[in-house]
A = this chain, B = another copy of it.
Amino acid sequence: MKNVVEVQPNDGKLAILIPGLGAVATTLIAGVDAILAGRNAPVGSYAEMGHLPTADGERVRVKEAVPLASLEDVVFGGWDIYEGNAYQAARRAKVLSNEDLSACQEALERVKPMPAVFDHEYVKNIDGPNVKSAKSKWDLAESIVADIKGFMDANGCDRAVGVWCASTERYIEPGPVHQTVSAFENGLKENHPDISPAMIYAYAFVKSGVPLANGAPNLALDIPAIVEFAKREGVAIAGKDFKTGQTLMKTMISPGLAARMIGVEGWYSTNILGNTDGAVLDDPGSFKTKEVSKLSVIESILEPELYPELYGNITHRVRIDYYPPRGDNKEGWDNIDIFGWMNYPMQIKINFLCRDSILAAPVALDLALFMDLAQRAGMSGVQDWLSFYFKSPQRNGDVMPPHDLFKQQEDLFVTLREISSRSSVKAPKIASAS
């Protein structure tokens, strides 16, 4: 049964708190500044630009259908292992042109990273000086809790929301320490090696009553301990791994092939990227985490169990190669071997010259806005209606959320309509140029 409680209003300031003030986060901050200044529209943000089809076919601006936080009320903060402010981080990230960075310099310089929880065992290929030290993981979690409270107080924020934008941690199998809240809390106190930094952040956010979305493929929000804790504390969580380049394309094209009963014999995907994410993924442990996140997409959409002749024997390969010349401009090349009538083979090749952070930033923004909305709407635990934004959407209970982008969109619509029906306060100040 859906909750009939009224949605809380979007009054007051909202802190968007980001573990990992790197390429994605600084691009997000710069873009919000540009939108507020009227320099460009919030391109890529469904929450800011999109429409919601009502049950009777009308189209209403999302911002008029549900009470989202206004961008004017947002204050950005976060943690990072590097010390420089967000302007310095953005220059290092080389996502934006110097001209665009200059225009946003003031807004970026305001954001200074708090010292991060970091463990080199979980992310091999980077290191930095701005790191917390404490005698236990429990103390690290408490330090994050204090950071959140301190930031909100200092900035006069009524609410906060978190979006994980830090690097991909190495793959680990969930173990006993991840199964219950109490086992996990003991593990924090005993410095259990299977508790990764991302999990420490996750625990601290939930403990602070602050919803959190996970933009990377780590399992921090998937482990039973955190899911249970979030439900108990009434906190919304959602993951995982921003769906941006190649996987986004896969979830557009696979449903189309399936709709037409076109067979698939093989799908070969290679990615080249030269940013920190690429360097991190050059470590086999981190790549494993990513690969697991990427491989299941096609199979879930094509349903080989229903169509064994069409999809029962697919060779699916995914490669990610660190290639510095590409910088933050990720490039994907996909070769899809399909077959049609009388089994005749055909080929589709897709070369996607994309930009990692440019695609991820509006996803991070939408997640922040919708997670804040969900929290105000009294929705706790896994927000599987936000699968639209994730490469590897987290399940809520037994039902697997879809990978098909269009089914995900429908799920998004359904929930937004439901929230809309419970909202009396609507129509925030419209800050964007759109």
Contact = CB atoms under 8 A, between A and B. Distances in A.
Contacts of A310: 41, 43, 49
Interface string A386-409: 001000000000000000011001
A96 B268 CA distance: 24
Interface string A305-347: 0110110000101010101111000010101010111111111
A323 B50 contact: no
Contact of A51 (B96, B306, B350): B306
B323 A342 contact: no
Contacts of A225: none
A354 B338 CA distance: 9
Contacts of A100: 342
Contact of A362 (B97, B261, B306): B261
B340 A344 contact: no
Contact of A317 (B50, B255, B321, B345): B321
A333 B345 CA distance: 18
Contacts of A307: 49
Interface string A253-296: 10110011111011010101000000000000000000000000
Contacts of A434: 309
B348 A349 contact: no
A298 to B, nearest CB: 14
Contact of A342 (B34, B331, B347): B34
A256 B248 contact: yes
Given A268-B272, A323-B268, A351-B348, A342 B96 contact: yes
A359 interface: yes
A374 interface: no
Interface in A123-142: none
Contact of A45 (B50, B261, B406): B261
A102 to B, nearest CB: 10
A307 B432 CA distance: 13
A260 B248 contact: yes
Contacts of A34: 342
Contact of A261 (B49, B99, B326): B49
A49 B321 CA distance: 33
A215 interface: no
Contacts of A235: none
A325 B315 contact: yes
A59 interface: yes
Contact of A43 (B44, B319, B337, B343): B343
A337 B349 contact: no
A201 to B, nearest CB: 24
28 contacts: A30-B342, A31-B342, A41-B309, A44-B340, A46-B261, A59-B306, A252-B252, A252-B255, A253-B253, A256-B406, A259-B388, A259-B405, A259-B406, A266-B323, A266-B326, A268-B323, A317-B323, A319-B321, A333-B333, A333-B335, A340-B355, A341-B357, A341-B358, A341-B359, A346-B358, A346-B359, A347-B353, A351-B351
Given A30-B342, A252-B253, 9 more contacts: A43-B262, A43-B342, A43-B343, A97-B97, A248-B256, A341-B357, A346-B352, A346-B354, A347-B352
